[in-house]
Amino acid sequence: MNFKIPLFDLNFDERESEAALETIKSKWISTGPKTTAFETKFAGLLNASHAVALSNCTVALHLSMKLVGVNAGDEVICPSLTFVATCNAIRYQGAIPVFADIESLERPVICPKDIESKITSKTKAIVVMHYAGFPCEMDSIMKIASKYDLKVIEDACHAPLTEYKGLKMGTIGDIGCFSFFSNKNISTGEGGMLVTNKLEYFEKAKLLRSHGMTSLSYERSKGHANTYDVVDFGYNYRMDDIRASIGIIQLDKIHHDLEKRAAVRSIYLDKLKKLDNIIIPFVNHKEFSSNYIFPIVLKNVDELERDEVRKKLAANGVQTSMHYPAVHRFSVYSEFYKELPKTDLMIQSMITLPMYGGLTESDIQYVVKHLA
């Protein structure tokens, strides 16, 4: 179905294709100098000490679990309102996901009080997800982590350059993870990044992303090494230089794109304030945000009523989504089910509206008109 107003629009032009072609012509297309340049540029934008480019964010989350020492039988507290990869990474290590509820419909991010209530002697780490591009309450979460000697992993897939008290998301906890999937703020088609300020995590992540090998093909091709050892049981989690070259262009564009998204959000807020049957999460948020998605919550509706609103919008050419089905209700997670009343209320009544920098005021007016 072709929508008059799609959910998102890819921020690509000839610069991405030219960068990819240049890399292809260089005849080095796997992990190499473009990947290193992408990592350096990304770390610089976040004021982070280290960044490791990876094949996607799911593997960044998996490596994070390994790096902080999550093992079989350990418990990791996590949100249910997230993409399932956040929690799958916990299961890859044989650990137990312990789902925590959101703060509220107005702030649908993991609740610090619920986190603390679920800590046991088996708890090893906390995973937070900065939903829609808005930060979790990191001061409280870091205090809890310090109190109980826990590690904190930030799933910052929604939040590149989002700020919390002047700090960038992904740089406050022990490790931050980012996605470059096709519908993210920064896109390389597939791809991810792990960031950390801890040298030991950085060096171990580089090792694990390439089979535990002590040198890469590019280093050997340039004569920097002529052999290698395998010192750990690693993985093939590398990013290639074609995607990295696209990522470099995307980073050149990111500030301008996020400014446009902020303007789109302001227009949405102005148009939607006339509707008294909705809640706009993070409506009073003032710090800089990536504005990855624009969720709204319909008051006093069930899933069927919410879906009827989505059908009406679709019939009028407006694509919507629902971020996300709750992980604690998926069949594969049934043994880890927890009562999460606020999360359940959120997922039965929320709609994700179109959000991208190219939306015009008339586009937004059209969306709101058919939402009313």
Parallel, antiparallel, or unpaired: how do β-strands 175-179 and 151-155 relate? parallel
d(CA 270, CA 274): 8
What is the Rg, in whole angstroms, of the alpha carbon atoms belonging to the chain?
A: 21
Output DSSP code: residue 102.
B
d(CA 246, CA 307): 37
Cα separations in angstroms, 349 against 108, 267, 320: 12, 22, 13
DSSP string for 272-310: HTT-SSEE-TTTT--S------EEEEETT--HHHHHHHH
Task: State the DSSP H helix or E strand holding residue 319, giving kind and residue range, or none if neither.
Answer: none
Q: Which of 34, 66, 184, 271 is catalytic?
A: 184
Q: Are 29 and 19 contacting, i.e. CB atoms less than 8 angstroms apart?
A: no
Question: Cβ–Cβ contacts within 10 Å for residue 99, how many?
Answer: 25
Q: Are 95 and 126 contacting, i.e. CB atoms less than 8 angstroms apart?
A: no
d(CA 210, CA 72): 23
Question: Quick check: is 184 catalytic?
Answer: yes
Cite the active site residues. Answer: 184
